[in-house]
A and B are shown apart, each in its own frame.
Chain A
Amino acid sequence: MTEHVIVVDLGYGDAGKGGVVDWLCARSARSARSARSARSARPQDRKVTAVVRFNGGAQAAHHVAGPGGAVHAFAQFGSGTFTRGMRTFLSRFMLVDPLAMTAEADHLSKLKVPDPFGLVTVDRDALLTTPYHQAANRARETARRAARHGSCGMGIGETARYAADSPADAPRGGDCETRQILMRKLTLLRDRLAEETGFQRAGQPPPSVLADVYGAWARRVTLARDGHLAALLRQGPVVFEGAQGVLLDEWRGFHPYTTWSTTTFANALTLLAEAGARDGAIRLGVTRCYLTRHGPGPFVTEDTTLDLPEPHNGTGRWQGPFRTGHLDAVALRYAAQVAGGLDAVALTHLDVAWRHQGRLRLCREYTAGERRIQRLAPGPDRDLGHAERLTRMLLSARPVYDDAERIGAGDWPDAVAEIAGAPVTIRSHGPAAAHKTAAAHKTAAAHTTDARSRPPALAAPPR
């Protein structure tokens, strides 16, 4: 059995990847401990050694309830950080914001994680997100006004855009080791972006101050050498933690309401292949039993009358409102397809399904004008024209709900497994690791009877 797991969100983000990653890490540490006392050494009992991030940047906010109940929004630390000794590797696909990382590390220290920086390794090629990118991002979004695309205001898009235009000039993790290089790149970046977007240089910290701080940061974290991931993979199983969601993918999402990164399994699979991993990995898709979207863009099943609890997400100044709606089988099937297929599904927020029995619907088809739509056809690779046509259609589409189909709270795993084309192997009834249960792959078909007949395990003791 392969040991590595890649976790991606099958919707627009916020499905609960953080909780799933935390649970995978905590569980492996537990079974490694019990295997030790049982004197067995099965490979599946090996402790996960690291969480690898393979897309997005500091805008991620994967909420995990830690020991003692305090919640941390993981952004640039892997969501498994509450498991003792769990390391984080920020691969070259990550956009790294050193300043935000200091604030996050500070909070983790307060939650009794010892020396958080010591847990982080950063690829030297990973792009850096700076205050200049943020200033440019905000200047552009302000100019765009109502036509905002759902940016987080963290400069992620600017970072990706600048690097795409001038890859050699973009500041990267490894540049922090050499002050002259970093100074040159930062100065160039500030001057170009200020010119282009009209932000005030005077309102921004000078490159020299930034270079000092980035230098100090680079001495606290570890900058990866060649073969770092290969070495990690040899040490034990690794969890790849995706950010955002497949429906926001830069190419496969509903353009232009997308993000600047690849949110499918692709980056993680590339990293595994480069590291010479032989076994591949389990591709695990995460979805709630309903759908949410933070910010503007198509959302056919949105239902403003649904009043579901959402403790960690509110209306962001740059991001727009948090929206809630019903599970969209059409979009979920599309997500599973463009992600390249799934091996397993983690189904989250089942506690909401239990508490709101009968309120959550399942949309299996849309009407758009005269047409009835059950499937979204993926376009050719990297065809933004196709993605944009999908968006136009979705913006006018109306959901169809079959009144005869009543989904009981225990029916969701079966329904989702059928739509996603993969067994539901993890079910979550709450934010903490203790609220999650596993169903073995082989028994995936049989578990639903069990789920129907039993109420969810609520309020299990904290770990």
Chain B
Amino acid sequence: MGSGRWSTDVYEAAARLRGDASAFGYSDSGARRVHPALDPFGVTARESRDSAEHPASLAIAVLFDVTGSMGSVPRTLQAKLPQLLGLLLRKGYAQHPQILFGAIGDATVDRAPLQIGQFESDNRMDGDLERILLEGGGGGQKTESYELAMYFMARHTAIDCWKKRRKRGYLFIVGDEMAYPNVKPREVSAWIGDELAEPIPLTTLTAELTRSWDAYYILPAGAAYAGDGQVLGFWRGLLGQNVIELADLDAVCETIALTVGLGEDAIDLDAGLADLADVGSAAGPAVADALAGLGAARGPLAIGAGPARALEASPRTTDNDKPAGNIRL
């Protein structure tokens, strides 16, 4: 039982805590695999729950691609995203947001193809952000394992906004490549721990995901495939108008916040852009461009299959250089 084995003085403790406090502590400490706090394996569900303090929680998830093609984008996101919560609250775009951060790699080659934090309603989600391992891997096929992340979000989240109020959460995937065409049982088993009898086609999964989540894809400038027509076409085929091209990465929080504000009917686009100007943000024009396609009013309360309905009418891409086995819509 008892001993003072770990007794230490305050100055030693201070030195230890200082030595430990680099902004990107986990990646820069030489870590090579997913931080235990972000490991999706065996997780029943990441939960966004109502509480006395937050009686009407709103789930918001931001997952970003951390593979090599994204260049310095993930580091910028790691630095920028902590502002998101404050932005949402200050302007009243959402009353009780609960934010989850996560990262996406490539399950065919990476050691951490999926990293998933917790829903938090205060700045504790910043800790998850710091713990994200920046992979820098990925294959050279213009595809990453977005479908694994989408599978997790569809089957391993429990969000009260949907459960209790039939109000979908907001999912933002920031990336620059396409998903694989199927959710593969072997990968789900290895990284999440579920046993699937057979692969799930991406279209089926998207329909399932968008029942409880409004899913958006953000393709930022600075990534290798920024502006790539094949990538944009792929995601428009899956998510319809919810595909956002972001010219100025510094405006990522503003773009996400305004998207939520629009979805919540808290503002319209013009008012949102005026808000941005008010707080001295220079992001207005970039955000205006990015959200031009979303400006149309969209009811915050939506039931049904969601944007995946647009699949049947989605544009076909016929590029011959498309990797074999890629999605056929």
**A: which residues have CB within 8 A of B?**
9, 12-14, 32, 36, 39, 41, 46-47, 49, 56, 58-61, 73, 75-76, 84-87, 97-107, 114-115, 117-119, 131, 134, 152-154, 205, 209-210, 212-213, 216-217, 219-220, 222-223, 225-227, 231, 234-236, 243-245, 248, 294-295, 313, 316, 318-319
Contacts and interface: CB of A to CB of B under 8 A. Distances in A.
Given A220-B17, A236-B44, A103 B49 contact: no
A80 to B, nearest CB: 12
A209 B14 contact: yes
Contacts of A220: 17, 20-21
B298 interface: no
Interface of B: 1-14, 16-18, 20-21, 25-26, 29, 31, 33, 35-37, 39, 41-45, 47, 49, 51-53, 121-122, 124, 127, 131, 189, 193, 195
Contacts of B52: 226
B9 A87 contact: no
Contact of A85 (B41, B47, B121, B195): B41
B152 to A, nearest CB: 14
Contact of A84 (B5, B10, B36, B121): B36
Contacts of B127: 118, 219, 222
Nearest to A212: B14
29 contacts: A12-B1, A13-B1, A36-B193, A87-B36, A99-B12, A100-B4, A100-B8, A102-B8, A114-B33, A115-B36, A118-B36, A119-B37, A134-B7, A152-B3, A153-B4, A154-B2, A205-B9, A210-B10, A212-B14, A213-B13, A216-B17, A216-B18, A220-B17, A225-B121, A226-B52, A236-B44, A248-B1, A294-B1, A318-B4
Contacts of A12: 1
Given A60-B2, A209-B10, A115 B17 contact: no
Contacts of A222: 124, 127
Contacts of B42: 32, 46-47, 49, 85, 236
Contact of B195 (A39, A105, A153, A210): A39
B6 A213 contact: no
- Best-buried of B5, B36, B45 by chain A (most CB within 10 Å): B5
B64 to A, nearest CB: 20
B35 A115 contact: yes
Nearest to B126: A219
A61 B42 CA distance: 29
B198 to A, nearest CB: 13
B5 A75 contact: yes
B53 to A, nearest CB: 7
A58 B6 contact: yes
A125 to B, nearest CB: 15
A118 B132 CA distance: 12
B47 A234 contact: yes
Nearest to B131: A118
A41 B44 CA distance: 12
A99 B2 contact: no
A231 B49 contact: yes
Contact of A319 (B3, B7, B11, B41): B3
A61 B41 contact: no
Q: Is chain B's binding surface mostly helix, strand, loop or mixed?
A: loop
A131 B53 contact: no
Contacts of A86: 36
B23 to A, nearest CB: 12
Contacts of A104: 6
A311 B100 CA distance: 45
B35 A213 contact: no
B160 to A, nearest CB: 12
Contacts of A153: 4
Nearest to A209: B10
Can you list the 6 inter-chain pairs with the closest CB atoms, starting with the nearest?
A13-B1, A85-B36, A152-B2, A100-B6, A103-B8, A59-B2
Contacts of A107: 6
A98 B193 CA distance: 35
B7 A103 contact: yes
Contacts of A294: 1-2
Contact of A235 (B3, B44, B53): B44
Contact of A216 (B3, B14, B43, B44): B14
A201 B14 CA distance: 20
Contacts of B3: 59, 61, 73, 152, 313, 316, 319
Contacts of A39: 195
Contact of B2 (A13, A102, A106): A13
Given A59-B1, A222-B127, A231-B49, A217 B17 contact: yes
A401 to B, nearest CB: 27
B8 A319 contact: no
A173 B195 CA distance: 41
Nearest to A40: B195
A245 B2 CA distance: 11
B49 A36 contact: no
A159 to B, nearest CB: 14
A103 B195 CA distance: 41
Contacts of A32: 42, 193
B78 to A, nearest CB: 15
A117 B16 contact: no
Nearest to A223: B124
A99 B51 contact: no
Given A236-B42, A244-B1, A319-B3, A213 B36 contact: no
